[in-house]
Copies of this chain bind each other. A is one copy, B any other.
Amino acid sequence: MDESIADAQQAIVTSPTPAREFRQLSRSRQRDVFFHLPETVQQSLVADLDRDGLQRFVRRLDPDEVADVLVLADEGTREDVLRQLDEDRQEKAAFLLEFSPESAAGLMHLDYVTVGVDQGIDAIARRVQRHEDRTGRLPTIFVTEADELIGELPGQVLAITDEEAIDLREHVHETPVVAFDSPDTEAVDVFRENPESSVAVLDDDGSILGVIYAEDLLRVVEEEAGETLYEFTGVQEEESVLDGPLSKVRYRYKWLIINLGTAFLAAGAVGFFEDTIAAFTLLAVYMPVVAGMGGNAGTQSMAVTVRGLAFGQISLSTGGRAVVNEVIAGGVNGAITGVLVAVIASVFNQSPLLGLVLGVSMVLNLVIAGFFGTAIPLVLDRIGKDPATSATIFITTATDVLGFFIFLGLARAVL
C-alpha cells in the first residue's frame, strides 16, 4: 500500500480527534484511507465526524460506498445525510441500507440493466446509454429469457453491429447467482466455481436485486484469509494492529483464560507423576521437548487439513485416508526426531534407558498429533463449526496431556 495512506491511517488512529485529521485530506484521499481502515476505527471516525463532515465525505461516493459508510452512523445522522444526497444516490443507498452488510446483498451494486434475449443490439445499446446518462456509471447487462436470468452479456458485444439478427445466447456468459440474504462468504464460494463472471444477487422470487463484481469479493476473501490466522491463534475478528492496549486486553483475555484451563489439564497430567519427577528430575528437563514437538506437529497437520477443507478437497466422509496418511507421517517424523533425542539423551545424560523412553514417547506423541490434527478439524467442519477456531485448543491439549502421560508414565514404568 501507498506509504502516505499508511501514514494518514496512523495519524487518524493515534489522534484523539480523528475527524480533524480526516477532514484535512483531499476527498479522493479520504476515500482511499477510509475504506482501508479497520472497521472499529471506521466506526469511531464516523461517530466523531459531524453531519457536515460526513455529508461532504459521502457526497461523491458511489451508492454502495455511501451505504457502507452510513451503516456505521446512528439512525438520525443517517437519515439527515441521506436526505441531502442527489436523488439517484439517495434512493439507491437507502435501498442498499435495508440489507445486512454481512450478507450477499451487502456487497452488491445497482448498476445493471436487464434485457430480454430477443432484443436487438440497438435496443440494448439504448438501455445502456440511458443508464449511463442517468447515473454516470456504465451498467452490467443481464439477459433474461421468459423472465429467467440466463446470464451476463459482455459490453463488448455491442460492437457487433452486423445486422443479421445476432443470437444473444451465443455471447451470454452464464452468471452464478446467490440469494440476497445468504452470507457474503457464500457469494465467494459461488464465484469460485464460476470465476469468469459477475455474481447476480436474487430476491426470494428469483428477480435480480443487484450485481457483485470480482473486486468486491476480493475484500471478502482477504478478510476470510486474515480470519483464519486470527481464529488459529484465538484473536477476535474485529481486532487490528492499530487498536489501543485496552481493546486488545478486552479482545483476548477470555481466550487466554480458556487456554489457562487447558494448561491446567497439562499441569494435572504432570502432577500425576510428581513422585516420578522427584526421583528423576531430568524428566522435567525433557518435558518441554516432548510436549513442544507434539504441539508443532499437530498444528502442521491442522493447517494442511484446514486448507484442504477450504479448497473443498476433503470432508469427514472422504477424510479417512488423510487421517491414516497423517498418522503414518507422524510416526515416521516421530521416529526421525525421536532417534535424535534418544541419542542426545543417551550421550549427554549417560542414560540409554531415558533415551529409549524419550524416543518412544516422541513417536507416540507425533502419531497422536497427526490423528487429532486431522480428525478434529474434519469433525468441527462436519458439525458446522469453523475448523480452525477451537481446534488449536483441542489439539495442543491432546498432545500436551497425552504426551506427558505417555512420557512420564513410560518413565515410571521403566526407570
Contacts and interface: CB of A to CB of B under 8 A. Distances in A.
Given A155-B159, A218-B195, A233 B299 contact: yes
Number of copies: 2
Interface string A259-298: 1101110110011001001100111111111011100110
Contacts of A264: 289, 344
Interface residues of A, number: 131
A159 to B, nearest CB: 4
B267 A289 contact: yes
Most buried by B among A2, A274, A308: A308
Given A225-B225, A288-B400, A304 B240 contact: yes
Most buried by B among A157, A222, A274, A312: A222
Contacts of A125: 158-161
Interface stretch (A19-27, A87-95, A313-321): A313-321
A279 B217 CA distance: 60
A270 B325 CA distance: 35
Nearest to A157: B138
A29 interface: no
A234 B329 contact: no
A245 interface: yes
B225 A228 contact: yes
A196 B285 CA distance: 58
B260 A284 contact: no
A249 B289 contact: no
Given A128-B156, A260-B337, A260-B340, A270 B296 contact: no
A29 to B, nearest CB: 13
B248 A161 contact: no
Interface stretch (A5-13, A43-51, A77-85): A5-13
Contact of A337 (B257, B278, B340): B257
A225 B222 CA distance: 7
Nearest to A234: B300
15 contacts: A7-B318, A36-B311, A154-B155, A155-B155, A191-B218, A196-B215, A234-B300, A253-B333, A256-B293, A257-B336, A263-B289, A270-B284, A274-B282, A277-B284, A287-B287
